Chain A
């Protein structure tokens, strides 16, 4: 299920449309994940405030989307582009990779809410594939 040329073009085009809302998207997706999948809160026990729109959630949502932006820019070689982030997640953060899928789903839900007309089924499939490829690259260094 690797990214076709069409998938890459679709992702880049769509990302160009949504990039200026990246912070909001990240914050909303992260808030949603914490609400819908409470087990994910276990990774953030060091935060004072886990409520939607709180300062740590907003800041971290932005951080995540900057990572996604990096991935879009490295779409032709995700393993190389995400090497440092993969090492971070593998050795320091040790986030169970199952959670990447969970967050990806939440990102897609937010995109569907914010861009109902643009988030067509064709865009959806390319983005879903992209986020899955991103997750694979992020898990590269785990073992």
Chain B
């Protein structure tokens, strides 16, 4: 069972309340596909991913980024039960999407960097620690149903 401090709960709620899910989601997924280009393997039918500009302007990527952020929202709203909340999503990523779970960490690193740019100085070391702890719980839950 994950134990969250009051600071961590407040920090996660606060960060997500400030995020524009469309902008952040799209920017995060695009960044992931650019910085770690092998992740493009999962997006074969998403159209033009030939270069950074194409990826950043791709509407399917933008839309999927938003979907991902809304998925994270479920964890934000169920912080005491992330593992159960994500059981189905874990099965989906394993059985249907066949995503290597190492990719979850890559995406979460990109999200940290995008959120850092948005929050600026407010993204202190303590805030970053809480945010990365949250993301590592999410990543672990998403990998739980793989076998």
Q: Does A15 contact B (CB under 8 A)?
A: no
* Residue in chain A with minimal CB distance to B115: A112
CA distance A35 to B11 in the complex (A): 15
User: Residues 15-44 of chain A: 1 if any B CB is under 8 Å from the residue's CB, otherwise 0?
Assistant: 000000000000000011011100000000
User: Residues 103-138 of chain A: 1 if any B CB is under 8 Å from the residue's CB, otherwise 0?
Assistant: 001001100110010011110110010000000000
Q: Are B35 and A128 in contact (CB under 8 A)?
A: yes
The number of chain A residues with a CB under 8 A from chain B is 19
Q: Does B84 contact A (CB under 8 A)?
A: no
User: Residues 67-80 of chain B: 1 if any A CB is under 8 Å from the residue's CB, otherwise 0?
Assistant: 00000000000000
The A contact surface, by secondary structure, is: helix
Given A35, A121, A125, which contacts B129 in the complex, CB threshold below 8 Å? A35
Q: Are B112 and A109 in contact (CB under 8 A)?
A: yes
Q: Does A52 contact B (CB under 8 A)?
A: yes
CB distance from A69 to the nearest CB of B (A): 22
CA distance A116 to B118 in the complex (A): 8
* Residue in chain B with minimal CB distance to A117: B117
Q: Are A121 and B117 in contact (CB under 8 A)?
A: no
Instruction: Specify which chain A residues have a CB less than 8 angstroms from the CB of B121 in the assembled complex.
Output: 113
Give 18 A-B pairs besides A32-B128, A35-B125 with Cβ atoms closer than 8 angstroms.
A31-B125, A32-B125, A52-B124, A105-B109, A109-B112, A109-B113, A109-B123, A112-B116, A113-B116, A116-B117, A116-B118, A116-B120, A119-B113, A119-B117, A121-B55, A122-B52, A125-B34, A128-B35
A interface residues (Cβ-Cβ under 8 A, vs B): 31-32, 34-36, 52, 105, 108-109, 112-113, 116, 119-122, 124-125, 128
The 6 closest A-B pairs by CB, nearest first: A35-B125, A116-B117, A121-B34, A32-B125, A125-B35, A36-B129
